[in-house]
Structure 1
């Protein structure tokens, strides 16, 4: 008989031998014992994790006359025939080369015939995601209601490519990557049965290169046995796998940790001159840095055989700082992305070595706008200092009694009326901000809840596109109405509303941010919360009166021009100032409150 690869010779024959898939194997065994078998199964997971092996074991177990505890006997004629692939009732199909409608129709037609030798006819379709859309449609009805004694087992590494209509008609089992320890244990067992001596470090090299795939590990082990059939040595494992030794990686990291760029470059050139691939080098270094970090942070415990850690590994792990390892892994990931589009990846590795050998700076990986952000922060710090001076002056005036705030309840009723009339006459001059009412009314007529919700959901992202100073102004604003072409912002403070309206640069930046985030025009109309409430009440009233097509301008305009005689007679709960001069003091008081809030906000942002 011709030579067979190790992964074929040592293909798993029982559920209990499948490593790292206890949830899958236990469920299948219990289903077999209780005779609660489904008509279709979907096995998903990375390559080499036992999907096809589990499908064959299931086919043997369900047809084995000597089945015990959900396991096949592997001694009867049926088990031998399935293992050798000569049982006509167990059909394996490669969907990569049989992905057309005609092939699936042929399966559908043949599935109608009863099994000839076994009790169940089993169809194992590997890499089922390769089927065409027409093939999936042809399989759909048969998969949902197959003939009696027919079971479909679909296997794939890319379940996201399978239509949901197919997945919903199957029982899905997800196979995980096989653990590092399980791969080591399986290789030790096989080499013991094959009576081949080995170095323990060589098996660690193979297990790390396999990346959770048992078939990859056994294929690589097969290559090393072919290189030298007498023993598995560390040197041979490194040569055949193209991996790095722990000594290589430690020396490279040690040079960078010692800030010796020259030594680091020499080690890098030595590694690459031995034929090591640049992409493989980066992958190995990421995994090795991760191993050191976990070893260091868990006091010598990790998911790998940490008892195998060498003295040099332990010494370096005790010496190096976690911040260096974090930075190293970030730079390696960044370099890995850059290397994908380069014909000279070695250049990126050299730059990485020089960069990591430099002393770490406080601000790492700053965004592109860091310089401008620094200038904005300095400007904000100056504004905060100026605000502090103004605050101290106003607080002194408050303490000395030069600014006094009296409650309207302390005045008589006649004084209240006179004050309100005086305030009404001066409200136009005091309330200097006037929004674009006609445009706001037009936006309200065109507004929709959908547009408003979209804008509110994206509001934080929109603010992040603005400068620090611009964000500070808009922190106290929120979208309250939005149409397909514009929106209305409601501000808590009139002074901020005025500043946002007058600031042309802010308006342009906000318009650009809204266009970029929401893919719609970014025109904005600003108004205070009181003005918005008045406009909204007027709009709602116009709808109730059946005049929603007219502009509800009266209520909003009146609210800005001052109350009518009827309004004067109505009681008010707001605080007022007893004299005309006190109105200026009240303004100073409101400015003080705003300055205190802005001061706290700016300090938080800095």
Structure 2
């Protein structure tokens, strides 16, 4: 006999071997033990979760001559015939290729003949959602009132496509995605039975990559074993076979993006390409890494949820403590959208590079999301240089030595010059010279103030009106306000009282403010 794939070789023969579907297995076993078996079942759920396996076990159990605790004994003639595929009592139909009315009519004609051996005639219809509308209608009556010896088991991965008339005639069982722990345990049983040496990290990664599908995990394991035949299967070898990337790389990528280090980000991507990694898988795994980072930020009790090693969890917590949760959530949204684009892209590397460049150079993108990054970087710089900035902005530069020490210099304090308060004529000079002021500003203030509109408020106050709420808040307080105040005061040598206002989307500037930039006459105040 030729080689048999692992997922076929280790298909569960009895209910007890079915993993991760205890809620279904217990119910079916109790029905068999109490002789309360239904005539129509609907098994629905994602691929590889055990729908067909449970259907075959149920077909053997209802025909078994000596069932053991609701499971087939595997020793009687009926169990052996069904397992070998030679029994006429179990008919498997693939609805994907047999989806017409004539195929269903053949089933209806066969149902009228009772089984020559055994108790039940079982029809397993896989991917039943592929049946045509006419085929569903032809099946309805038989599905509702079949002969006492007939049983239908319908399996589907897309239950939404089934007519309600079919759903109402079946007992529905939803197969859950299988947990990573359960899949890892089953893989360990398989490799032990096969006499293959595999480290735990390798099995854990395969289990996670399978995305809740036991069949996918066994297929991936089969692939990894074949590539490294006769050798110990290690974590690094699994990564090579599956085109995956180690978690440490994702940490470096996140740090590069968070600090807007474009050289580091693009160099890392280049290394990934040279190593031959699958780029779509790389992006998907990075989204998963960001998800773990978000969960660790949300709570300290997430060890079981994030599902990574102790060492990686320690590094993840360290990175989470230094990151902003809003930024992480935004990164998840950006890379999730990128993952969807890569599905149909021919130049995947270029798409990823464009995304990395935009994230590291937010000034290239004119939207609120990129503004958040620009503000965050500015705030970080402000915090790093906070003491120096405050000393310079307050005009106090101290040069001191220990009091009374030989040769010590007395403390020198440079007092900041007190400026006269600006009057409307002075404000008019600022307005008329606004273009010159903009040219002398440093970025990013220069970029932000280019769209500003000027107005006159109460008490000779200059109003700077922006269309961005975050910018208005930024320049109304803190170091950014001090920086703008310095620029305005130095432009005319007087102290200008100003406030930065935000105009709502539903408001117009002309209805709420006086447009000083459009007025050419002098501003006169009454005595």
Asked whether the 8 Å contact 2:295–2:306 carries over to 1, the reply is no
CA distance in 2, matches of 1:309, 1:30: 45
Give the corresponding residue for 2:323: 320
Partner residue in 1 for 2:271: 270
Q: In the aligned structure 2, how far is the partner of 1:194 from the partner of 1:70?
A: 29
What's the TM-score, normalizing by structure 1?
0.59
In the alignment, the residues of structure 2 paired with residue 143 and residue 383 of structure 1 have an alpha-carbon distance, to the nearest angstrom, of 80
- Structure 1 window deviating more from structure 2 (26-35 vs 333-342): it is 333-342
Instruction: Note the C-alpha offset of 1:354.
Output: 2.2
1:245 aligned residue:
246
Q: Is the 8 A contact 1:294 1:302 kept in 2?
A: no
| CA distance in structure 2 between the partners assigned to 1:364 and 1:344 by the alignment | 25
**Shift of residue 314 of structure 1?**
4.6
Shift of 1:345: 2.6
SS at match of 2:13: coil
Matched residue, 2:226: 226
1:102 equivalent in alignment to 2:105: no
Q: For residues 260 and 67 of structure 2, what CA distance do their matches in structure 1 show?
A: 64
SS in 1 for 2:79: helix
The separation in 2 between residues aligned to 1:341 and 1:61, in whole angstroms, is 45
- The one of 331, 336, 340 equivalent to 1:333 is 336
Aligned to 2:116: 116
Q: Specify the structure having the higher radius of gyration (Cα).
A: 1
TM-score normalised by structure 2 residue count: 0.67
For residues 297 and 14 of structure 2, what CA distance do their matches in structure 1 show? 39
Name the CA distance, whole Å, in 1 between partners of 2:248 and 2:309.
Answer: 17
Q: Is the 8 A contact 1:209 1:243 kept in 2?
A: no
Which residue matches 2:284? 283
Report the CA distance between 1:65 and its aligned residue: 2.1
Residue 53 to residue 469, structure 1, CA distance change in 2 (3 Å): same
DSSP 3-state at the match of 1:468:
coil
Q: How many matched pairs?
A: 384
Q: 2:305 matched to which residue of 1?
A: 303
| Equivalent in the alignment of 1:364 | 369
Alignment partner, residue 583 of structure 1: none
Residue 362 of structure 2 contacts residue 371 of structure 2 at CA under 8 Å; is this kept in 1? no
Shift, 1:304, TM fit: 5.2
User: Structure 1 residues 258 and 59 mapped into 2: Cα distance closer, same or farther (>3 Å)?
Assistant: same
Which stretches in structure 1 are left out of the alignment for 5+ residues?
A: 368-373, 387-465, 474-606
Task: Give, in whole Å, the separation in 2 of the partners of 1:114 and 1:174.
Answer: 30
Looking at structure 1, the residues matched to 306 and 7 of structure 2 have their Cα atoms a distance apart, in angstroms, of 23
- What residue is the counterpart of 1:235 in the other structure? 236
Judged with a 3 Å threshold, the aligned counterparts in structure 2 of structure 1 residues 304 and 32 are, in CA distance, closer, same or farther, namely farther
Tell me the CA shift for residue 306 of structure 1. 4.1
CA distance in 1, matches of 2:332, 2:222: 32
Q: Distance in 2 between matches of 1:306 and 1:211?
A: 15
**Is the CA contact 1:181–1:305 (under 8 Å) kept in the aligned structure 2?**
no
Cα deviation, 1:19-71, whole Å, max 9, x if unaligned, reads: 22222222212222222221101101100000000101111121222223322
Please list every run of 5 or more consecutive structure 2 residues that lacks an aligned counterpart in the other structure. Answer: 373-447, 460-503, 512-527
CA contact (8 A) 1:197 1:232 kept: yes
Q: CA deviation at 1:340?
A: 4.6
Residues 142 and 308 (structure 1), Cα distance of their counterparts in 2 relative to 1, 3 Å cut: farther
* Alignment partner of 1:69 is 2:69: yes
Could you tell me whether the CA contact under 8 Å between 1:140 and 1:166 is conserved in 2?
Answer: yes
Deviations 1:159-201 (A, max 9, x none): 1111111111111111111111111111111111212111222
Question: Is the Cα–Cα contact under 8 Å of residues 180 and 304 in structure 1 kept in the other structure?
Answer: no
User: How far does the alpha carbon of each residue in 1:466-506 deviate from its partner, in whole angstroms, 9 at most, with x for none?
Assistant: 95249xx9xxxxxxxxxxxxxxxxxxxxxxxxxxxxxxxxx
CA separation in 2, counterparts of 1:126 and 1:382? 72
> Cα 1:144–1:264, aligned 2, differ >3 Å: closer, same or farther?
same
CA contact (8 A) 2:198 2:233 kept: yes
Q: Is 1:13 paired with 2:51?
A: no
Instruction: Decide whether the 8 Å contact of 1:205 with 1:243 is kept in 2.
Output: no
Deviations 1:377-419 (A, max 9, x none): x99x999999xxxxxxxxxxxxxxxxxxxxxxxxxxxxxxxxx
Q: Helix, strand or coil: the match of 2:303? A: coil
2:419 aligns with none
How far, CA to CA, are the matches of 2:320 and 2:206 in structure 1? 23
| Distance in 2 (alpha carbons) for counterparts of 1:384 and 1:170 | 73
Q: 1:319 to 1:85 in 2, by over 3 A?
A: farther
Contact 1:81–1:87 (CA under 8 A) maintained in structure 2 = yes
Please give the alpha-carbon distance, in whole angstroms, between the structure 2 residues aligned to 1:385 and 1:181. Answer: 67
* CA distance in structure 2 between the aligned counterparts of 1:385 and 1:13, rounded to whole angstroms: 85
Other structure's SS at 2:7 match: helix
Distance in structure 1 (CA, Å) of the matches to 2:303 and 2:89? 49
Q: Give, in angstroms, the shift of residue 359 of structure 1.
A: 7.2
Secondary structure in 2 aligned to 1:143? helix
Partners of 1:137 and 1:351 in 2: how far apart? Answer: 52
Shift of 1:337: 3.6
CA distance in 2, matches of 1:198, 1:51: 28
2:356, 2:298 → 1: CA distance?
Answer: 25
Call closer, same or farther: CA 1:11–1:304 in 2, change over 3 Å: farther
